[in-house]
Amino acid sequence: MQVCNDSLRKLVKSLSYYSKRGSVEKVRSMLHDARRDGVEPNLICQTALLEAVVRCNSSSSSDVIATFREIERECGADLVLYNNMLYYFSMQGDVASCTSWFEKLQCANFTPDVRSFNCMINGCAKASDAQLAVLYIQRMNDSNVIPNIYSFNGLLEAYARCSDAACTSRLLLRQIKNRNIHFGRSIITPDVISYSSFIGAWGRRGCPEIAIRVLKIMDRNSITPNEVVVSNLLKGFVDKHGAGLTRERVLRGVMYKYKLPLNLVCVNCVIDALCKDGEMDRAILWFKKLEEVRLRPDCFTFGAIIHGYAAMGDRVSARSWMERLHNEKIKVDRTIFNARLMSLIR
């Protein structure tokens, strides 16, 4: 019995590693080998299979549901299994399916925990449905489930995505001087993700001056911005001539102040704005900086430069960069390129 328990523990540990990486075939192979060696996988092991399917990029909703049904027939279901279903549909922003599985969870006589509610809130955020996210926060309180930082960030992101920056600012700044926010029955300390959502909300509204104020609050609270915060800040400087030079100046200043390394997301923001302003020479300089620090440009980088040259009527340079993109064997997002082409046609 002890040997069996030890084997199960080792199996669970190994499965956890591969399931988090979405390695479906590896997890299935390990479960098959365990059965062959006389170790019958329990529900925890089978749940690792569902988690792998959920995290695999190529999995469809029918694959996920089929795997759930398969495990349910063999071992039954528990709350963790249902939460994986909620997580999958929340990442898709499929609020209707999230709601359906939330109801199935309750019909199976399981009590939703904080992760169940957080999945629902994140699903609402993906769908930009702030009102429904608020309702689930209220249901958490009614169910005596204490919200945590993930609940708060999910609600904040829901408001940010629907550009309701006024509500976002009330949520975040009400007690910001004390670094803490009374959130339901919890006291939440905003983290870098919280500030990122807030900066993104004001950035999308074209109010970078307010986003910069929030960056200063982060500095005062000793929270160092990450690349998402900086890219959200840069995106606030849009639809104005000279946005490229402004983004360039802001990125240099933030990188210098916080000693941040150069990253592709932020450089792409700068290159895109410079190309839209016709500052192609400066855009190419930033492209070369990526090569100097061994950051590989992606289709967004090339797309901005190709679009910039095409907009200027320089077809030779545009074609040259298209050939370079092809030679670099970078996967092309056809949606991005088609959208840029249509903008030129219009």
Looking at the fold, whether 13 and 56 belong to one and the same domain comes out as yes
171 domain residue, yes or no: no
Is pLDDT of 309 > 50?
yes
The whole-angstrom separation of Cα 302 and Cα 295 is 13
27-31, 232-236, 264-268: range with lowest mean pLDDT: 232-236
Boundary of a domain, candidates 89, 120, 145: 145
213 domain residue, yes or no: no
8 domain residue, yes or no: yes
Is pLDDT of 85 > 70?
yes
Looking at the fold, whether 338 and 265 belong to one and the same domain comes out as yes
Instruction: Dump pLDDT digits (tens) for 192-221.
Output: 888 888 787 777 777 777 788 888 888 888
181 domain residue, yes or no: no
Instruction: Dump pLDDT digits (tens) for 37-48.
Output: 888 888 889 999
pLDDT, greater one: 86 or 307: 86
339 domain residue, yes or no: yes
Q: How confident is the model at residue 52 (pLDDT cuts 50, 70, 90)?
A: very high
Looking at the fold, whether 60 and 115 belong to one and the same domain comes out as no
Contact present, 263 and 300 (Cβ < 8 Å): no
Contact present, 266 and 231 (Cβ < 8 Å): yes
Looking at the fold, whether 344 and 318 belong to one and the same domain comes out as yes
81-85, 94-98, 179-183, 266-270: range with lowest mean pLDDT: 179-183
Q: What angle is formed at CA 210 by the lines to CA 206 and CA 214, rounded to 5 degrees?
A: 130
Looking at the fold, whether 264 and 345 belong to one and the same domain comes out as yes
Looking at the fold, whether 137 and 71 belong to one and the same domain comes out as no
Q: How confident is the model at residue 3 (pLDDT cuts 50, 70, 90)?
A: very low
Looking at the fold, whether 270 and 346 belong to one and the same domain comes out as yes
Looking at the fold, whether 51 and 113 belong to one and the same domain comes out as no
Is pLDDT of 174 > 60?
no
Contact present, 229 and 199 (Cβ < 8 Å): yes
Arithmetic mean of pLDDT over the chain: 84
Looking at the fold, whether 4 and 57 belong to one and the same domain comes out as yes
Domains in the chain: how many in total?
Answer: 3
Quote the DSSP letter at residue 176: G
Most confident among 19-33, 85-99, 173-187 (mean pLDDT) = 85-99
The whole-angstrom separation of Cα 333 and Cα 325 is 12
Looking at the fold, whether 57 and 8 belong to one and the same domain comes out as yes
Boundary of a domain, candidates 145, 166, 189: 145
Mean pLDDT across 99-118: 96
Q: Of 317, 307, 320, 314, nearest to 272 (Cα)?
A: 307
The whole-angstrom separation of Cα 133 and Cα 154 is 8
The pLDDT score that the predictor gives to residue 346 is 47
Q: What angle is formed at CA 109 by the lines to CA 103 and CA 104, rounded to 5 degrees?
A: 20
242 domain residue, yes or no: no
pLDDT, greater one: 61 or 168: 61
The pLDDT score that the predictor gives to residue 51 is 93
170 domain residue, yes or no: no
Q: Is 332 exposed, middle or buried (0-12, 13-18, 19+ CB in 10 A)?
A: middle
Contact present, 43 and 61 (Cβ < 8 Å): no
The pLDDT score that the predictor gives to residue 108 is 95
Range of the domain at 52: 1-75
Q: Which helix (H) or strand (E) holds 186?
A: strand 186-188
Task: Specify the residue for token string 């996967």.
Answer: 331
The pLDDT score that the predictor gives to residue 2 is 35
Boundary of a domain, candidates 89, 124, 145: 145
